[in-house]
């Protein structure tokens, strides 16, 4: 199963004074890629009754990238699906390549927008994960 990729174009102000894309921008890439995927493919409505909150994230950085020489893609996969949470597996590559420049993890807990209490992973999201992302990579 080919994993979907989310393009992530870089910006002038993503480079820090070392001339590399700052480490925090990779988290913007992961946050954007997963939320966009859930909104477009799995029915998540950010103004709706259920929200995904980030409760943990991590990233290992293998090689620096720089605007404007590079643009990025986030490869979307799932590491683990729990009762109320999903942990995403998110290699980040230069556009059109397969060797990760960084590999991230991102855990969403789904909560009721009103009570802010955890709820089960919504069925449309669970289904979309199974059908489009396949089995967890772990």
Closest distance of CB 26 from a second copy, Å: 9
- Using CB under 8 A as the binding rule, whether residue 94 contacts a second copy is answered as no
- Using CB under 8 A as the binding rule, whether residue 112 contacts a second copy is answered as no
Count CB neighbours of 106 within 10 A.
24
One residue of 45, 60, 112, 130 binding a second copy per CB under 8 A: 60
Extract the tokens encoding 26.
């990779």
Report the residue number, 24 or 135, with the smaller CB distance to a second copy. 24
- Using CB under 8 A as the binding rule, whether residue 4 contacts a second copy is answered as no
Q: Which range in 3-11, 75-83, 84-92, 120-128 contacts a second copy by CB under 8 A?
A: 3-11
Nearest alpha-carbon partner for 133 in 46, 38, 55, 26: 38
Closest distance of CB 116 from a second copy, Å: 8
Length of the chain: 138
- Using CB under 8 A as the binding rule, whether residue 36 contacts a second copy is answered as yes
Q: Which range in 25-33, 76-84, 90-98, 118-126 contacts a second copy by CB under 8 A?
A: 25-33
The string of DSSP letters for 66-124 reads: -TTT--EEEEPEEEEE-SSEEEEEEEEEETT--SEEEEEEEEEEEEETTT--B-PPPHH
| Helix, strand, coil distribution of the chain in percent, nearest 5 | 25, 35, 40
Q: Contact residues for a second copy (CB under 8 A)?
A: 7-9, 11-13, 15-20, 22-25, 27-28, 31-32, 35-36, 39-40, 46-47, 51, 53-61, 64, 67-68
């Amino acid at each position: 199963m080919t994993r979907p990729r989310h393009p992530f174009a870089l910006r002038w102000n993503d480079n820090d004074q070392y001339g590399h894309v700052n480490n925090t921008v990779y988290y913007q890439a992961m946050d954007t890629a997963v939320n966009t995927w859930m909104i477009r493919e799995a029915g998540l409505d950010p103004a709706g009754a259920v929200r995904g909150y980030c409760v943990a994230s991590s990233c290992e950085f293998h090689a620096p990238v720089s605007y404007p020489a590079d643009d990025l893609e986030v490869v979307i996969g799932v590491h683990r699906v729990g009762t109320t949470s999903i942990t995403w597996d998110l290699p980040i590559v230069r556009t059109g390549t397969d060797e990760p420049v960084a590999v991230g993890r991102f855990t969403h807990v789904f909560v009721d927008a009103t009570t802010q209490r955890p709820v089960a992973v919504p069925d449309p999201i669970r289904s979309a994960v199974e059908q489009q992302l396949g089995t967890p990579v772990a």
